C-alpha cells in the first residue's frame, strides 16, 4: 500500500498535484475501505503526458529485440507477483480469491504479455510491395483508459502491444480498480522500462478521459468501457484527428438450436453468463430458446442457479462474488425491478441480496424468461448476474432477434454439431462467435461491430492498433 496515494510518472512515484482529489477504495464484499487514492487533476495529467511525449523518440528508435527483452522481463516480474495480483483484484472488485482471481483474472494479464511476444516475433514490421517499402512504425503517445471488471486482462492487452510497437503511454485505470494497477506499476518499475515509457495516473473517467483524448501531445486513445465513454472519447479526439480504438459494451445472444443437447447447452449458457458475477462485456446475456422447449430450459436454468454459491470472495467454496461497486449494484437492482415491471417471468433470483449477505454489494443470480426484444432488459447491457431467456419459432427468427441489437460484440451458438452451429454463426453481425461452448483464444482478435466498438485487441490485431503505416517509394 506504500505507493497507493502516489502516481507513477517518468520512471518514479510522485505525489499528486494540488488539484488532485482523494477517493476511497471500497472492498465490495465488506464495504470497508482498502485505502485511499487520489484522482488526477489537470497538473497530473499534464505531467504524465509530457513524460510520455519526452520519452517517445528514444523509445521508438530502440531495436525491436530490446523492446521484446523488456516484455520478457515484465513477464518474469509479473509471474513472480501473480499471487499479489490475484489478491489485489479480489479486494478491489470482488472476484473469488482462490478461483476466478487466482486462476483466470490475474493469469489473463500474463497471457497477454506472452501472446504479444509471440505475435511481435513473427510480425512483418517491414515488407516490399512493388517498388515500395511498407513500414509499420509506432503510433506515438497512447492514452490507455481501462475499466474495473477484468482489470489486468484489459490493461495488459493494451500495455504489452504498446511496448512491443514502440509507443509510450499514459494509463488511466478505473478508480474502482486501482490496487491491481498499483501492483502492475511496481512490476513495470522492476522490469526496468526507460523513464517515461509507462506512466500511470488514477482519475475519474468523466474528467480525465476528455483531458487525455483532446490533448494534441497524445497520438492515440485505446479505451475499454461503456458506449457512452466511447462516444465521449471519439468526440474529444476528433479535433486532433487521433487514432481511436474502442472496446465497448455488448448484449450477446446465445442461440440454442432445436437439436442441441439441452441440458448441456442451457447449463453452459447459464454458467457462462454468471461467471465474474455477470460483469463481462461479452457475456451471453440473451439466451434464445425454441419456444416449444422454453419450459425445459427454464427448469435447467433454475437448477443451475440453485447450485451457484454467492458469498465471501475469500471463501474457497464461493463461485460468485459481489458486484464490483455500489454504483453498479444499484444499476443492476433497478434493471431487475424493471424486468419485473415489464412483465417478464422471473425464473429464479430477483431483487435484493442473497440471504445472509446483508453487508457487501451482493446480488442474487437472476433469470428472466418470456422476454421479448422490446423490453429494456433485452436491450440494455445490465452488467450483472442477470440472464434473459427469449423464445423463437425457427432459426431464421432466432438470427433476426440476435441481430436486432445496437451491440455486436460477441455471439454464441450451440447445436448438435459444430458444423450446424457454424452455419448459424456466419449469419450473426458480431465480432466474435463461440461454437458449442468454445472458449476464447488469446491470439485471436477481440472486438465487435456496431456500438460495441472500433478496432480489435489481442495478438497481431492488437499490435496493429499501435502501429502507423508508412510507404517509402524507391526509384
- What confidence tens digit (pLDDT) does each residue in 280-314 have? 999 999 999 999 999 999 999 999 999 999 999 99
Q: List Cβ neighbours of 419 (8 Å cut-off, separation of 6 or more).
A: none
| pLDDT tens, residue by residue, 78-96 | 999 999 999 999 999 999 9
CATH class of 7-248+452-473: alpha beta
Mean pLDDT for 398-416 is: 98
Pairing state between β 411-414 and 434-435: parallel
Name the phi and psi angles at 95, rounded to 5. -65, 135
| pLDDT tens, residue by residue, 237-275 | 999 999 999 999 999 999 999 999 999 999 999 999 999
Q: Where are the domains of the chain?
A: 7-248+452-473, 253-441
Mean pLDDT for 213-230 is: 97
Mean pLDDT for 209-216 is: 98
Mapping DSSP onto H, E and C, the string for 310-330 reads: ECCCCCCCCCECCCCCHHHHH
Residue 281, all three cell numbers? 462485456
Helix or strand run (H / E) with residue 378: helix 376-379
Domain 253-441 belongs to what topology? Aldehyde Dehydrogenase; Chain A, domain 2 (3.40.309)
Rounded to whole angstroms, the Cα distance separating 161 from 163 reads 5
Nearest to 147 by CA among 311, 383, 377: 383
Nearest to 394 by CA among 263, 291, 260: 291
Grade residue 4 by pLDDT with cuts at 50, 70 and 90: confident
Rounded to whole angstroms, the Cα distance separating 243 from 26 reads 34
Which pLDDT score is estimated for 27?
A: 97
Q: What are the strands, taking DSSP E only, across 31-95? A: 33-39
Nearest to 285 by CA among 147, 383, 432, 395: 383
Pairing state between β 253-256 and 411-414: parallel
Q: How many Cβ atoms sit within 10 Å of the Cβ of residue 293?
A: 16
Is the separation of the CB atoms in 278 and 272 below 8 Å?
A: no
Rounded to whole angstroms, the Cα distance separating 321 from 15 reads 33
Mean pLDDT for 30-51 is: 97
Indicate the burial class of 361 (C-beta count within 10 angstroms; 0-12, 13-18, 19 or more).
Answer: buried
Mean pLDDT for 461-471 is: 98
Which pLDDT score is estimated for 1?
A: 45
Is the separation of the CB atoms in 55 and 196 below 8 Å?
A: yes
Which pLDDT score is estimated for 2?
A: 46
Beta bridge partners of 457: 446
Mean pLDDT for 16-32 is: 96
Beta bridge partners of 129: 132
pTM, two decimals, is 0.96
Is the separation of the CB atoms in 232 and 210 below 8 Å?
A: yes
Distance between the two ends of the chain, CA-based, in angstroms? 60
Give Cα 270 to chain centroid, integer Å. Answer: 20
* pLDDT tops 80 at residue 381: yes
Sign of torsion, CA 279 172 140 194? Answer: negative
| 247 is annotated as an active-site residue | yes
Is the separation of the CB atoms in 260 and 237 below 8 Å?
A: no
Rounded to whole angstroms, the Cα distance separating 274 from 296 reads 19
Nearest to 34 by CA among 213, 151, 176, 161: 176
Instruction: Give me the catalytic one of 247, 298, 381, 465.
Output: 247
Mean pLDDT for 38-46 is: 97
Looking at residue 147, the DSSP 8-state letter turns out to be: -
Sign of torsion, CA 81 86 92 98? Answer: negative
| pLDDT tens, residue by residue, 61-76 | 999 999 999 999 999 9
Is the separation of the CB atoms in 75 and 120 below 8 Å?
A: no
Rounded to whole angstroms, the Cα distance separating 330 from 475 reads 65
Residue 237, all three cell numbers? 479526439
Helix or strand run (H / E) with residue 144: strand 141-145
* pLDDT tops 50 at residue 103: yes
Helix or strand run (H / E) with residue 30: none
Grade residue 3 by pLDDT with cuts at 50, 70 and 90: low
Is the separation of the CB atoms in 426 and 408 below 8 Å?
A: no
Looking at residue 95, the DSSP 8-state letter turns out to be: -
Total residues found in the chain within this entry? 475
Mean pLDDT for 421-446 is: 98
Q: How many Cβ atoms sit within 10 Å of the Cβ of residue 427?
A: 17
Is the separation of the CB atoms in 267 and 256 below 8 Å?
A: no
Beta bridge partners of 288: 255, 390
Amino acid at each position: 500500500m506504500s505507493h497507493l496515494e502516489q502516481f507513477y510518472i517518468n520512471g518514479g512515484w510522485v505525489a499528486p498535484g494540488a488539484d488532485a482529489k482523494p477517493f476511497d477504495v471500497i472492498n465490495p464484499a465488506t464495504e470497508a475501505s482498502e485505502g485511499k487514492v487520489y484522482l488526477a487533476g489537470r497538473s497530473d495529467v499534464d505531467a504524465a503526458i509530457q513524460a510520455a511525449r519526452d520519452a517517445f523518440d528514444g523509445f521508438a528508435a530502440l531495436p525491436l529485440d530490446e523492446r521484446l527483452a523488456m516484455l520478457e522481463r515484465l513477464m518474469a516480474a509479473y509471474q513472480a507477483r501473480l499471487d499479489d495480483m490475484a489478491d489485489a483484484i479480489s479486494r478491489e472488485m470482488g472476484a473469488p480469491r482462490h478461483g476466478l482471481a487466482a486462476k483466470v483474472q490475474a493469469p489473463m494479464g500474463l497471457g497477454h504479455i506472452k501472446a504479444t511476444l509471440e505475435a511481435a516475433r513473427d510480425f512483418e514490421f517491414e515488407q516490399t510491395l512493388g517498388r515500395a517499402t511498407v513500414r509499420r512504425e509506432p503510433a506515438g503517445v497512447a492514452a490507455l483508459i481501462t475499466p474495473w471488471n477484468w482489470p489486468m486482462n484489459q490493461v495488459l492487452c493494451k500495455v504489452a502491444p504498446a511496448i512491443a510497437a514502440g509507443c509510450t503511454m499514459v494509463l488511466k485505470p478505473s478508480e474502482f480498480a486501482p490496487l491491481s494497477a498499483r501492483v502492475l506499476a511496481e512490476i513495470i518499475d522492476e522490469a526496468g522500462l526507460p523513464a517515461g515509457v509507462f506512466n500511470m495516473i488514477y482519475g475519474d473517467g468523466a474528467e480525465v478521459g476528455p483531458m487525455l483524448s483532446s490533448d494534441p501531445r497524445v497520438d492515440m486513445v485505446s479505451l475499454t468501457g461503456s458506449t457512452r465513454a466511447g462516444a465521449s472519447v471519439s468526440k474529444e479526439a476528433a479535433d486532433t484527428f487521433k487514432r481511436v480504438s474502442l472496446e465497448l459494451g455488448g448484449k450477446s445472444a446465445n442461440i440454442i438450436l432445436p437439436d442441441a443437447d439441452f441440458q448441456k447447452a442451457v447449463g453452459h449458457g447459464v454458467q457462462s453468463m454468471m461467471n465474474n458475477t455477470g460483469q463481462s462485456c461479452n457475456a451471453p446475456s440473451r439466451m434464445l430458446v425454441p419456444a416449444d422447449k422454453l419450459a425445459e430450459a427454464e427448469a435447467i436454468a433454475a437448477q443451475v442457479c440453485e447450485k451457484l454459491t454467492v458469498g465471501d470472495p475469500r471463501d474457497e467454496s464461493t463461485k460468485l462474488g459481489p458486484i464490483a461497486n455500489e454504483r453498479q449494484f444499484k444499476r443492476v437492482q433497478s434493471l431487475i425491478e424493471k424486468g419485473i415491471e415489464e412483465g417478464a417471468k422471473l425464473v429464479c433470483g430477483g431483487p435484493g441480496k442473497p440471504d445472509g449477505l446483508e453487508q457487501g454489494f451482493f446480488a442474487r443470480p437472476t433469470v428472466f424468461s418470456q422476454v421479448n426484444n422490446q423490453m429494456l432488459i433485452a436491450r440494455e447491457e445490465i452488467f450483472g448476474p442477470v440472464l434473459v431467456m427469449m423464445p423463437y419459432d425457427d432459426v431464421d427468427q432466432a438470427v433476426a432477434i440476435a441481430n436486432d441489437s445496437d451491440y455486436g460484440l460477441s455471439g454464441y451458438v450451440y447445436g448438435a454439431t459444430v458444423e450446424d452451429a457454424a452455419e448459424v454463426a456466419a449469419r450473426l453481425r458480431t465480432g466474435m462467435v463461440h461454437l458449442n461452448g468454445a472458449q476464447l483464444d488469446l491470439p485471436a482478435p477481440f472486438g465487435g461491430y456496431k456500438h460495441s466498438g472500433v478496432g480489435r485487441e489481442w495478438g497481431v490485431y492488437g499490435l496493429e492498433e499501435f502501429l502507423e503505416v508508412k510507404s517509402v517509394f524507391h526509384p
